[in-house]
Amino acid sequence: MAVLVLIASSSVQAQTVTEPAISKVVEQVRVDADYLTKRLTWDKDVDLDRVRQFGLALTAMNLVQQQVSSTRYGAVANTSPEDLPANDEEALSRGIGICGNQVSVFLNIATRVGLEARSLEFYWPDEADVRHSHIAAEVKISGKWAFFDVTWGTYFRRDPTASGQASLLEILSFDEAKAVPDRAAHAVTNESELSFRLQLINSLDPFDYFTKADGYLRGKSGDIALAAPRSNGGAWATTSE
């Protein structure tokens, strides 16, 4: 019996815009990263270029999570779906966005402050064969990719028990975070964010894509093939980069 295969293309690109909301946040990210790099006392063996790259990525993630609200997006989607943001500037200036908007704004900012960054898209079916998705990002810090889930304000430390300053900059890539047995112990998360709290209150796992996603797209574009629903004997295919 033939298996129906659906092809869905996805592309996430940092937009080249000069609108005031984006420009203001870019400048704020630079100032905060400079403060982290120059004004705090670091051990002599800490690479300050690495500190700055981490500071830029962390500040950008925090500002986007704070200023582009997925909770507010849900409220607008329920009442005026035609009034959702159409681009990065609208998402940031109006404070509205879900993971796709948040990562797009994050990549936009990262590019402007000189970071190399890329998106990671995840797709998976639930028990009723309804397809779900999530998107996060990776940033290259000192030549290695580091994973940032902008929506949940989260990154993953290599050694969560280490106390040295250098260890604070050891951030896992997505593949590395996926491989650790006790992922929650490695997570550094802004747990006070409202959408994150709602996930926990509703007994949901914000990071279920780590175990449920059958594949993911890495980078600015790619294709994902989805087989027919499992009830028809299909298997959900992996993605291609």
* Mean pLDDT of the region 121-144: 89
Q: In the chain, which ranges are E strands?
A: 5-11, 117-125, 131-141, 144-149, 154-156, 187-189, 215-218, 221-227, 239-240
- How is the beta sheet containing 221-227 ordered, strand by strand? 5-11, 221-227, 239-240
pLDDT at 7: 33
Confidence of residue 2 (pLDDT cuts 50, 70, 90): very low
Residue 234 confidence (pLDDT) above 70? no
pLDDT at 43: 81
In the chain, the percentage of residues whose pLDDT exceeds 70 is 83
Q: Residue length, the chain? A: 241
pLDDT at 171: 95
Q: Which residue has the tokens 């035609």?
A: 82
DSSP 26-41: HHHHHHHHHHHHHTS-
Q: Indicate the DSSP class of residue 237.
A: P
Residue 239 confidence (pLDDT) above 60? no
* Mean pLDDT of the region 198-202: 82
Confidence of residue 220 (pLDDT cuts 50, 70, 90): low
Confidence of residue 158 (pLDDT cuts 50, 70, 90): very high
pLDDT at 205: 86
Amino acid type, 91? A
* Mean pLDDT of the region 24-30: 96
Nearest to 62 by CA among 105, 122, 111, 116: 105
* Mean pLDDT of the region 45-63: 93
- Residue 215 Cα distances to 61, 218, 222, 226, angstroms: 24, 10, 12, 10
In this predicted model, what pLDDT tens digit does every residue of 72-115 receive, in sequence order? 898 999 999 899 999 999 999 999 999 999 999 999 999 999 99
Residue 235 confidence (pLDDT) above 80? no
In the chain, the percentage of residues whose pLDDT exceeds 90 is 53
pLDDT at 18: 63
* Mean pLDDT of the region 35-45: 83
